[in-house]
A and B are shown apart, each in its own frame.
Chain A
Amino acid sequence: MIMTINEIEHSVFAEIHNTHTAKELEEVRARYLGRKGTLTSVLRGLAELSLEDRREIGPRAQALRDRIEEACEDRLQDFEATSETFFDVSFPGKKITVGHHNPLSLLIQDTEDIFLSLGFSVVDGPEVETEFNNFDALNIPANHPAREMWDTFWLKRAHNTEPRKLLRTHTSPVQIRYMQTHEPPFRIIVPGTTYRYEATDARHEMQFSQIEGLAVGETVTLANFKSIITAFFSRLFAQKVEIRLRPSYFPFVEPGVEVDATCPRCHKRGCELCTFTGWLELGGAGMVHPHVFDAVGYNPNTIQGFAFGVGAERLAMIKYGIPDIRLFRSSDLRFIQQF
């Protein structure tokens, strides 16, 4: 089938533009303008056309031939640049050293920003804590079997008369510090480093980061918590997330719940990340136990609130698909430079 002039016009210039060597260019030229070239055959066929058609097509075909020749000339110059004008745009750019955030910082900063927008302040606290703030004030008295839920690093004392100090096992003691110095209503989150005396593996660390949340006022409810935590996870994972609460036990809340979210990777269909359940266990929460309010001098009859805690590493592992919790503190720059 002979190509029409329109078809030739439509394809030839793109083909010329897409050549990368003089040889490729010559092949294209030959295809259109060579002895058996498509445009050449159009020109040859003119004789067989009616006078009227000849008058219309003839000049157009001639003009097209000139334009193709011109375009080939231009393109050829690109390939035949002299050493003086040679400029290799494909040469690699000069390397600029850029730094990288640890993914843990990215996750924590995202979390802070989301909660700031929900009206939560971001509060800091120390890593070395008193036994009172870490346990007793949180309704976990000494010898209570619940203390075994937190394996603790204790610090040596210079004298046995000093009160025992420890590395905080959760960020919850900051709840105590904050409530002792502030009056409700308030909403805070507390990101920070925490420690557990335990063997490390792909899912456990002896040092990790937690984000604690606390909202206290006269009318704060568990249903409010569900709303806030749904908003948080939906924004963190940039998709609509469903939240499921299940009964659980933490001495400093009552009722206490486990917080599950629909798996952001498979959207509840089931995948390896969620061990084919469609749900991910993302944290603990509940309504602040009246004993905790007692410990900080609030009136538990008029004040109530919710508290929650999530693991920053766990959320980062889900968000970025990181398989091993130990990578965060591995100091491996090949890992950090991915973020």
Chain B
Amino acid sequence: MKFSIEWLKDYVAINDTPEALAERITLHSFEVEGLEKHDHDILMDVSFLPNRFPDAANYYGFAREVSAVTGVPLIGPHSLSQQNPFSKKKWKQTWPLEVQNADDCPRYSGLLMKGVRVEGSPTWLRERLEINGLRSINTVVDITNYVMLELGQPLHAFDAAKVDNGIVVRRARGREHMTTLDGKDVDLSPEDLVIADQSNVLALAGIKGGKAAEIISSTTSILLEAANFNADFVLRTARRVGITTDASYRFKYGLDPNLTEVALARAAELVKKICGGSIETFADAYPHKVLPRVIAFDPRRYEALIGEPVSLSSARSLFKRLGWGVVKAVKGLVWVEVPTFRRDVERFEDVVEEVARLRGYEELGSIPPVTVLLHAAQDESIAFSRSVKKRMLTFGFDELYSYSFIPESWNVVCDEKTLVQLENPVSTEYFYLRPLLLLSLFRALESNAKFFSSLRFYEIGKAFTHDEEAGIVERAKLAGMVMSEEKGGASFYELKGVLDALFQGYGIADVEYCPSDAWKGVFAQGQVAELMVDGTSIGFLGMIDSKWLSRFGVARPVAAFELDLELLCSAANEEREFVPLPKYPAVIRDVSFLIDTTVRIDDMRRVINDAGSKMLQDVDLFDMFEDEKLGTGKKSISFHLTFRSDGRTLTSEEVGHDMETIIAALQKQFAIEVR
């Protein structure tokens, strides 16, 4: 809210420059967003958080804060500081007022005035409203708005002559409707709180007045309303009918019910001065009076919480500046009475904050904690993902952070029932939570493919699925992609090499790559492996479907993988134990075969390993090619076979014997030809 410094001076003398005042307010109360020149005045833009909006986002309240911060006492109209100006009085006549439910409306106060002239407002009034963005309507309406700016209490004025026999505050009935002052027709529901008379709905409580009892130039008697409505109703109805007003905004934060009477007194004072007229009578429905809270303040507990002492006398002088009375003082303790306009101050800690901020946090020392020595550690999930990031870095992968959302049109990747959907997506582009982390990487592929001929990147992040029994399942994943410059399956094997190195780094020896048809549409059919460790699936590696890739304008083959980070972590074993270096030399034999293209390398390797050679240490594929000369459906495959014994140097006869055994085993199993 913007405050005119000149206007503020009605309530408190300002001895600081605007800049100095802005700095003091920022350090002790609220953030001052800026100062701006306005004719011969300066406007101070102050931002209020929800706890202080009700008491301070108005001129008098802000002046009260300035007074507390600067120590300069409040001046200002007497009518603003009086207690119960009307309810103390005995009124000879009265007018009918009924509040059907005090929970909906804790207080409703009305003041009837007669002999009022409704005209155009004087210049000073128009100007002050304009500073705060309000348009001048007529004297009476302007006064109600002025008092709202001044005290924070929204007011409404009805033409009393148009009110049919008193006011009822009630829920709307089915099929009721009203026309607002600005001509909008609103259908009401029983969820709405309304102000009505015996025949019409006159206003939407706390939001907007209606045409039925509008103040016009011929109006002479007015009914001024100052009420305290349940914020839930105001919020809900304002949202439902799509009308937000200054009044509804203020009610939303909750107001002090004791404010209604002061606001009416102030409005009446201004009406009498500007429009003439006199007070006829007052009606008030306020069954449960809100009383000031009394809170004990103990300076020792203050010191225990803040870390520095405060003397009782300096605390007391700050309470005085705040306008809080001390009702009792015993043995170094005081009980303060917190005025009802500070409904945010509920307990001891709130009082501590008042003392601490008025003294100034800039004075607070910086004191290292004296504490027990604790073992500081990282959660395993965090430590492990850091370690994975380090490894991926050495494999030449760039790390991405992407959004957890995928477009609505991507629901084809899996059964829609397993997708987690947002209740309020920002757009159809960010519609579901990703069921696979690697889906998020396609955006990176799309945007980078035009700048780079080959790509390697990865991300660690969460993936989300909906499970009929478990509900929403959130898993930490590691996903990566490779786009190689080479054609065909090169990306796949490049990525597989990376995964092998990753597994080796974590001491995971037996990872099986099992053919899978998972995530059809994303992975190319028949070109995806499910990675199994000890019978548990820990993720996938596959070539991306070319049709799916074309969505992103990428023509080159791309491989991608995704691993469950938690499962990878539990399979990992980074313990190492020294193995003695070999004492005797190894013998390496190369052998090439001609074999059907459809024979899997893993199957050949298994036969070689199971052939019965005790000296065979390692089987290493080093060449594979297909060629017309070899004949269709055939491929050439070459292995290095490494033989070694820990007891002696092997003779070539021994190795030759084992080689024969191995070749025989292969020939038994496959249609194979040694080249």
Which residues of A pack against B, CB within 8 Å?
96-102, 104-105, 109, 112, 115-116, 118-124, 126-128, 143-146, 148-149, 153-156, 158, 162, 165, 167, 185-187, 191, 193, 195, 197, 199, 206-207, 215, 217, 219-224, 226-228, 230, 243-249, 254-258, 287, 289-290, 304, 328-334, 336-337
Asked if B455 is an interface residue, CB under 8 A from chain A, the answer is: yes
Kindly provide the distance from the CB of B600 to the nearest chain A CB, expressed in whole angstroms: 30
Chain B residues near A328 (CB-CB < 8 A): 401
Check B369–A155 contact: CB distance below 8 A.
Answer: no
Check B462–A127 contact: CB distance below 8 A.
Answer: yes
Given contacts A104-B401, A127-B474, A154-B422, contact A246 B451 (CB under 8 A): no
Chain B residues near A244 (CB-CB < 8 A): 27, 361-362
Q: List 21 A-B contacts (CB under 8 A).
A: A96-B396, A99-B396, A101-B399, A102-B401, A112-B378, A122-B379, A124-B382, A143-B232, A146-B50, A153-B422, A155-B472, A187-B374, A195-B404, A197-B424, A206-B426, A222-B364, A223-B307, A224-B367, A244-B362, A254-B352, A336-B400
Chain A residues near B455 (CB-CB < 8 A): 333
Q: Is the interface of B mostly helix, strand, loop or mixed?
A: mixed
Check A193–B304 contact: CB distance below 8 A.
Answer: no
Chain A residues near B51 (CB-CB < 8 A): 146, 249
Kindly provide the distance from the CB of B347 to the nearest chain A CB, expressed in whole angstroms: 7
Kindly provide the distance from the CB of B228 to the nearest chain A CB, expressed in whole angstroms: 15
Q: Which of A121, A258, A289 contacts B376 (CB 8 A)?
A: A121
Kindly provide the distance from the CB of A13 to the nearest chain B CB, expressed in whole angstroms: 45
Q: Which of B232, B376, B378, B386 has the most CB of A within 10 A?
A: B376
Kindly provide the distance from the CB of A326 to the nearest chain B CB, expressed in whole angstroms: 11
Given contacts A207-B403, A221-B306, A248-B49, contact A119 B366 (CB under 8 A): no
C-alpha gap A203/B109 in the complex (Å)? 46
CB contacts under 8 Å to A, within B314-332, are: none
Kindly provide the distance from the CB of B165 to the nearest chain A CB, expressed in whole angstroms: 35
Kindly provide the distance from the CB of A240 to the nearest chain B CB, expressed in whole angstroms: 12
Check A223–B306 contact: CB distance below 8 A.
Answer: yes
C-alpha gap A118/B373 in the complex (Å)? 10
Q: Which of A102, A199, A333 has the most CB of B within 10 A?
A: A333
Q: Which of B31, B366, B367, B381 contacts A258 (CB 8 A)?
A: B31
- Residue-wise interface mask of B (375-393) relative to A, using a CB-CB cutoff of 8 A (1 in contact, 0 not): 1111101110010010011
Given contacts A145-B252, A224-B369, A247-B357, contact A333 B426 (CB under 8 A): no
Chain B residues near A126 (CB-CB < 8 A): 474
Check A99–B456 contact: CB distance below 8 A.
Answer: yes
Check B401–A329 contact: CB distance below 8 A.
Answer: yes
Q: Which of A122, A146, A191, A247 has the most CB of B within 10 A?
A: A247
Given contacts A155-B472, A287-B349, A331-B444, contact A185 B374 (CB under 8 A): yes
Check B361–A121 contact: CB distance below 8 A.
Answer: no
Q: Which 10 A-B pairs have the closest CB atoms?
A: A223-B307, A221-B307, A97-B396, A331-B444, A255-B353, A245-B361, A249-B49, A154-B423, A223-B367, A99-B393
Q: Which of A156, A207, A228, A330 contacts B422 (CB 8 A)?
A: A156
C-alpha gap A63/B372 in the complex (Å)? 77
Kindly provide the distance from the CB of A286 to the nearest chain B CB, expressed in whole angstroms: 9
Chain A residues near B379 (CB-CB < 8 A): 121-124
C-alpha gap A248/B29 in the complex (Å)? 8
Check A100–B353 contact: CB distance below 8 A.
Answer: no
Asked if B83 is an interface residue, CB under 8 A from chain A, the answer is: no
Asked if B583 is an interface residue, CB under 8 A from chain A, the answer is: no
Check A333–B398 contact: CB distance below 8 A.
Answer: yes
Given contacts A112-B378, A219-B304, A255-B357, contact A336 B362 (CB under 8 A): no
Asked if B133 is an interface residue, CB under 8 A from chain A, the answer is: no
Chain B residues near A215 (CB-CB < 8 A): 369
Check A331–B369 contact: CB distance below 8 A.
Answer: no
Closest chain A residue to B451, Cβ basis: A334
- Residue-wise interface mask of B (6-26) relative to A, using a CB-CB cutoff of 8 A (1 in contact, 0 not): 000000000000000000001
Closest chain B residue to A250, Cβ basis: B49
Chain A residues near B29 (CB-CB < 8 A): 247
- Residue-wise interface mask of B (283-313) relative to A, using a CB-CB cutoff of 8 A (1 in contact, 0 not): 0000000000000000000001111100000
Kindly provide the distance from the CB of B498 to the nearest chain A CB, expressed in whole angstroms: 11
Chain A residues near B158 (CB-CB < 8 A): none
Asked if B370 is an interface residue, CB under 8 A from chain A, the answer is: yes
Given contacts A146-B51, A287-B305, contact A124 B381 (CB under 8 A): yes
Chain A residues near B357 (CB-CB < 8 A): 247, 255
Asked if B421 is an interface residue, CB under 8 A from chain A, the answer is: yes
Q: Is the interface of A mostly helix, strand, loop or mixed?
A: mixed
Q: Which of B26, B362, B365, B456 contacts A223 (CB 8 A)?
A: B365
Closest chain B residue to A256, Cβ basis: B353
Chain B residues near A304 (CB-CB < 8 A): 304-305
Given contacts A99-B395, A145-B253, contact A243 B366 (CB under 8 A): yes
Check A221–B395 contact: CB distance below 8 A.
Answer: no
C-alpha gap A290/B253 in the complex (Å)? 22
Kindly provide the distance from the CB of B494 to the nearest chain A CB, expressed in whole angstroms: 11
Kindly provide the distance from the CB of A317 to the nearest chain B CB, expressed in whole angstroms: 14
Q: Which of A98, A199, A222 has the most CB of B within 10 A?
A: A222
C-alpha gap A203/B372 in the complex (Å)? 40
Kindly provide the distance from the CB of A168 to the nearest chain B CB, expressed in whole angstroms: 11
Asked if B356 is an interface residue, CB under 8 A from chain A, the answer is: yes
Chain A residues near B447 (CB-CB < 8 A): 330-332
C-alpha gap A275/B591 in the complex (Å)? 72
Chain B residues near A119 (CB-CB < 8 A): 371, 373-374, 376
C-alpha gap A257/B27 in the complex (Å)? 10
C-alpha gap A289/B305 in the complex (Å)? 11
Chain B residues near A121 (CB-CB < 8 A): 374-379
Asked if B466 is an interface residue, CB under 8 A from chain A, the answer is: yes
Asked if B580 is an interface residue, CB under 8 A from chain A, the answer is: no
Chain B residues near A290 (CB-CB < 8 A): 347, 349
Given contacts A221-B306, A244-B361, contact A226 B474 (CB under 8 A): no
C-alpha gap A122/B424 in the complex (Å)? 32
Asked if B123 is an interface residue, CB under 8 A from chain A, the answer is: no
Given contacts A105-B399, A153-B422, A155-B421, contact A116 B373 (CB under 8 A): no
Asked if B464 is an interface residue, CB under 8 A from chain A, the answer is: yes
Q: Which of A99, A119, A217, A330 has the most CB of B within 10 A?
A: A99
Q: Which of A191, A215, A304, A336 has the most CB of B within 10 A?
A: A336
Asked if B548 is an interface residue, CB under 8 A from chain A, the answer is: no
Q: Which of B368, B381, B386 contacts A109 (CB 8 A)?
A: B386
Kindly provide the distance from the CB of A301 to the nearest chain B CB, expressed in whole angstroms: 10
C-alpha gap A244/B362 in the complex (Å)? 6
Kindly provide the distance from the CB of B370 to the nearest chain A CB, expressed in whole angstroms: 7
Check B353–A254 contact: CB distance below 8 A.
Answer: yes
Closest chain A residue to B403, Cβ basis: A207
Kindly provide the distance from the CB of B50 to the nearest chain A CB, expressed in whole angstroms: 4
Kindly provide the distance from the CB of B254 to the nearest chain A CB, expressed in whole angstroms: 7
Check B52–A249 contact: CB distance below 8 A.
Answer: yes
Asked if B461 is an interface residue, CB under 8 A from chain A, the answer is: yes
Q: A127-B404, A156-B420, A304-B304 are in contact. List 7 more A-B contacts (CB 8 A).
A: A122-B383, A153-B422, A191-B382, A220-B371, A244-B361, A247-B28, A255-B356
Closest chain A residue to B448, Cβ basis: A333
Chain B residues near A287 (CB-CB < 8 A): 305, 349
